Amino acid sequence: KCEIKDFRIYVSKATLLNVKFELENYDIKFNYNYLNISIHECKEEQIKIFKNKIFYCEIPRCEDDCPVNDNKAICMKGEDINSNDIKNNHCECLQGWIGSKCQNRNYEDLR
């Protein structure tokens, strides 16, 4: 079994790459020797982090009590566009949930 784990490509701007694979062990065959890789800008909801002029994208992190995993809230990025700091990001309730920690159902009054 041959695995490539934690393969990363770092770039300074969005780009298109053509990567060629070669092996010293000729018993292993690739279906394709070339791999076209498109590196895009971060999505709107992500935070673009620069480190040594190289960028990567992160999903905003919030306090542990933001119920993102319970599908009650989403963590929104803060004003500092280059920092993923839980103090700057904010927890926002999804539709149907209210409260300081999105703990209460928001029922519509249909009367």
Contacts 24+ apart (CB under 8 A), 76-81: 76/45, 77/45, 77/46, 77/47, 81/47, 81/48
0.75 surpassed by pTM: no
Tokens standing for residue 46: 């992500």
Q: What is the pLDDT of residues 40-96, one digit of tens each?
A: 899 999 999 888 888 888 999 999 999 999 999 999 999 877 889 999 999 999 999
Q: What is the pLDDT of residues 27-54, one digit of tens each?
A: 666 666 777 888 889 999 999 988 888 8
Each domain of the chain, given as residue ranges in start order, spans 15-105
- What is the pLDDT averaged over residues 99-110? 87
pLDDT of residue 75: 96
What is the C-alpha separation between 58 and 49, in angstroms, rounded?
7
pLDDT of residue 4: 72
